[in-house]
């Protein structure tokens, strides 16, 4: 009944006399430097194969082109974002956030330093600096690291071998409301033997206003520089040395501090050898080091107000060093059978330092204190076997050996109170197992049915094991690993006038790691205090996504998607927290040879299933939320080969709304708080010009 009411309201909204457009899925294929389409994508391209979506990272999109990885992922059905300010939101897939979703930057993992999740992995990503984005939903691969119970996202760069000396590049400029401006330059020069690639990005935005005209503390500036040097002596051999450095600052509307430093330093080396023998089709390896240095303070991006308890500003400076490596072999063990087997490893150390007297004793003069060390080594094997020309069996197994250390000698009860850490100097070791088996049946060319069963075991991450307490103690270091078993069923159709995708899932989670805030605990002579704790519960999740794309009369295009997740805390018989509501998108567009115009309608149902003060490492439920519908317009024009100009108006009617899973607002000097959650931007205008050149 609830779904039918929602669909009726959506149909009324969609009756507005305006139209939108989406790029056809040729833009999602990893071909080098295609001629840009004039069409603005408003829904993600349909899956290219069961549970896999591939996107062109440089294709124009609506809403306003993304300045970080989370904003980009939000356009894919099943994804949502926990908003904290103008940038650095946390991506959520099917209601699952944090380390349940594996994020890889060109095969590498970067783990942020902030104990309050100012810098999730997607905070270090400017999407247009990559060539393609690959999303695998559910625990349906074992090739890319441990714990991917929600899914895996790979931001990738494609450095194909030059066939002759030459160059190629991409540049874009974007301006928009609230002082938004982005600049991107990506140039690659090479010969058949060598290539050099350099990428520079910069993005800036002032505070935005919501639909009520309320200014939200949200301004940000960030930049990145990436370089790659490659050796390609043949079509089957490639070695690549990479380096990156980025930094930025960002104001936040949900907390008492801002991020004044987001420094990332990277060095990596990888290689690939193909067609070594009839058995060995490919050998690939990778080594990398990522360093994240983060500062959060209460005075550089906001007005500091001295008080008796805090006469001077404060600053916290966590950092994390992540080192990793991977080696994999593709073995053609039989004509219809490909086996990928390999090993990967990762170590990371987190340290921190803090000053409550930043003027007289700045944090940079204090020593760094280690508070966590993690180490993982994994073995994996994945098999793709053709049973018949129409039937395929894909499966994989994985084993991970985890080691963790807790070097903390004390833990903080409050900003002014410390107690001895009961797990000081303790170590723990766990062997966790993952695997999946999927059957695919090709009904006709481009039409496939699939059924997959996956299992993933996830070790507690830094935010769950180190920054939280338990109900009965002050250290959550010994929290049990989380175990997810999920069934995925669906159908993908990629040919003919109508393209469609249906994906459903049903999952059971044992020892789901739940975060609960506002827990009242004793504080000795001070009476009581409130704490945020880590708990294990059991949970059940189910839902799915529906996608549809077709052309009408050759020039009118329709794209639609629907996504829903239902989740239950079965231990306590209540809803599982931080689950986004039912969401629908509808795009209609008119396309010419060199132009397009269109609209996007995004409609979200109310959410009255919540668990107050419960959630994940990013945020907790604040109560019910109302539904909303947003109308946006876009246009595209190709004035000359390689050139593309796009424009849009997001939230045309200046609707005031907030996402259900977004963070609560915080009282900030000079800003008015008029909502429970951090509001989304009001009416936003943007204009973007891009140029693909060379080759």
Token duo for residue 534: 């880590």
Residue 512 pairs in a beta bridge with 537
Q: Please give the average pLDDT of every successive group of 10 residues along the chain, which has 695 residues.
A: 44 35 35 64 82 91 88 92 94 96 94 90 93 95 94 94 95 96 97 97 97 96 97 96 97 95 97 96 97 96 88 95 97 96 97 93 94 97 96 97 97 83 96 98 91 98 96 95 98 88 97 96 79 97 95 86 97 97 95 91 97 96 96 95 95 97 94 91 97 90
Task: Report if residue 668 sits inside a domain.
Answer: no
Range of the domain at 185: 2-663+675-694
Structural domains in the chain (count): 1
pLDDT at 673: 85
H helices within 455-568, ranges in order? 462-465
Integer-rounded Cα Rg, in Å, for the chain is 25
Task: Report if residue 69 sits inside a domain.
Answer: yes
Q: Which residue has the tokens 């129409």?
A: 390
Task: Report if residue 669 sits inside a domain.
Answer: no
Q: Cα(624)–Cα(581) distance, rounded to whole angstroms?
A: 10
Q: Cα(685)–Cα(621) distance, rounded to whole angstroms?
A: 31
Q: Which residue has the tokens 């907030």?
A: 658
Task: Report if residue 520 sits inside a domain.
Answer: yes
pLDDT at 36: 66
Q: What phi, psi does 617 have (nearest 5°)?
A: -70, -10
Q: Which residue has the tokens 């071909």?
A: 31
3-state secondary structure of 368: coil
Do residues 491 and 500 make contact, with C-beta atoms less than 8 angstroms apart? yes
Task: Report if residue 27 sits inside a domain.
Answer: yes
Task: Report if residue 519 sits inside a domain.
Answer: yes
Task: Report if residue 670 sits inside a domain.
Answer: no
pLDDT at 674: 79
pLDDT at 7: 44
* Alpha carbon distance, N-terminus to C-terminus of the chain: 56
Q: Cα(154)–Cα(461) distance, rounded to whole angstroms?
A: 20
- Tell which residue, 193, 187, 136, has the closest CA to residue 157: 187
For residue 448, the domain's CATH number is 2.40.170.20
pLDDT at 44: 75
pTM: 0.92
Length of the chain: 695
Q: What phi, psi does 430 have (nearest 5°)?
A: -140, 140
Token duo for residue 390: 């129409």
Distance of CA 66 to the CA centre of its chain: 12
Q: Cα(474)–Cα(521) distance, rounded to whole angstroms?
A: 10
Task: Report if residue 264 sits inside a domain.
Answer: yes
- β-pairing, 369-386 vs 426-444, is unpaired
Q: What phi, psi does 13 have (nearest 5°)?
A: -60, -40
Enumerate residues 6+ apart whose C-beta is below 8 A from 231. 193, 194, 237, 238, 239, 240
């Amino acid at each position: 009944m609830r779904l039918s009411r929602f669909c009726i309201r959506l149909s009324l909204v969609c009756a507005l006399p305006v139209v939108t457009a989406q790029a056809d899925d040729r833009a999602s294929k990893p071909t080098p430097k295609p001629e840009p389409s004039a069409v603005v994508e408003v829904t993600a391209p349909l899956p290219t194969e069961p549970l896999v979506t591939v996107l062109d990272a440089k294709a124009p999109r609506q809403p306003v082109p993304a300045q970080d990885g989370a904003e980009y992922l939000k356009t894919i059905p099943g994804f949502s974002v926990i908003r904290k300010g103008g940038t650095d939101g946390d991506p959520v897939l099917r209601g699952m956030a944090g380390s349940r979703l594996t994020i890889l930057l060109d095969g590498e993992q970067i783990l942020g330093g902030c104990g309050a999740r100012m810098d999730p992995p997607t905070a270090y990503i400017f999407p247009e600096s990559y060539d393609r984005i690959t999303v695998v939903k559910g625990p349906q691969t074992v090739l890319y690291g441990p714990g991917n119970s929600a899914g895996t996202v790979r931001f990738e760069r494609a450095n194909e071998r030059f066939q002759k000396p030459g160059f190629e590049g991409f540049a874009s400029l974007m301006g928009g409301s609230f002082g938004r401006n982005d600049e991107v330059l990506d140039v690659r020069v090479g010969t058949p033997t060598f290539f050099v690639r350099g990428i520079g990005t910069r993005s800036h935005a002032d505070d935005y206003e919501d639909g009520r005209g309320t200014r939200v503390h949200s301004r940000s500036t960030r930049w990145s520089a990436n370089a790659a040097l490659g050796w390609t002596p043949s079509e089957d051999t490639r070695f690549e040395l990479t380096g990156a450095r980025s930094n930025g600052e960002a104001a936040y509307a949900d907390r008492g501090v801002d991020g004044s430093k987001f420094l990332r330093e990277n060095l990596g080396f990888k290689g690939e050898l193909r067609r070594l023998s009839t058995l060995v089709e490919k050998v690939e390896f990778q080594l990398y080091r990522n360093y994240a240095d983060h500062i959060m303070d209460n005075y550089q991006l906001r007005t500091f107000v001295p008080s008796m308890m805090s006469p001077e500003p404060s600053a916290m400076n966590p950092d994390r060093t992540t080192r990793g490596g991977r080696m994999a072999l593709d073995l053609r063990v039989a004509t219809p059978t490909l086996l990928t087997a390999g090993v990967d490893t990762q170590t990371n150390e987190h340290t921190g330092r803090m000053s409550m007297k930043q003027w007289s004793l700045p944090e940079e003069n204090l020593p760094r204190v280690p508070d966590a060390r993690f180490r993982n080594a994994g073995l994996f094997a994945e098999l793709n076997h053709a049973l018949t020309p129409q039937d395929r069996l894909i499966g994989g197994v994985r084993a991970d050996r985890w080691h963790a250390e807790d070097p903390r000698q004390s833990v903080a009860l409050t900003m002014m109170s410390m107690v001895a850490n009961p797990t000081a100097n303790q170590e723990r070791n766990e062997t966790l197992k993952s695997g999946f088996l999927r059957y695919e049946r090709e009904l006709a060319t481009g039409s496939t049915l699939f059924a997959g069963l996956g299992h993933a075991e996830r070790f507690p991450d830094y935010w769950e094991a180190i920054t939280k307490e338990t109900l009965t103690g002050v250290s959550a270091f010994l929290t049990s690993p989380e175990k997810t078993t999920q069934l995925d069923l669906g159908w993908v159709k990629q040919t003919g006038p109508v393209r469609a995708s249906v994906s459903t899932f049903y999952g059971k989670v044992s020892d789901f790691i739940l975060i609960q805030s506002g827990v009242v605990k004793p504080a000795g002579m001070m009476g009581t205090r409130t704490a945020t704790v880590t708990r294990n519960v059991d949970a059940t999740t189910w839902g799915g996504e529906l996608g549809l794309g077709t052309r009408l009369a050759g020039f009118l295009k329709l794209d639609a998607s629907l996504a829903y997740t239902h989740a239950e805390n079965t231990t306590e018989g209540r809803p599982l927290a931080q689950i986004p509501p039912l969401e629908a998108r509808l795009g209609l567009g008119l396309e010419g040879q060199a132009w397009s115009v269109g609209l996007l309608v995004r409609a979200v149902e109310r959410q009255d299933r919540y668990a107050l003060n419960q959630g994940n490492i990013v945020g907790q439920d604040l109560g019910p939320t109302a539904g909303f519908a947003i109308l946006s317009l876009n246009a595209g024009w190709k004035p000359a080969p390689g050139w593309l100009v796009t424009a849009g108006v997001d939230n045309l009617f200046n609707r005031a709304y907030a996402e259900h899973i977004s963070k609560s607002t915080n009282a900030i000097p000079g800003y008015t708080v008029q909502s429970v959650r951090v509001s989304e931007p009001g009416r936003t205008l943007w204009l973007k010009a891009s140029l693909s050149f060379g080759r």
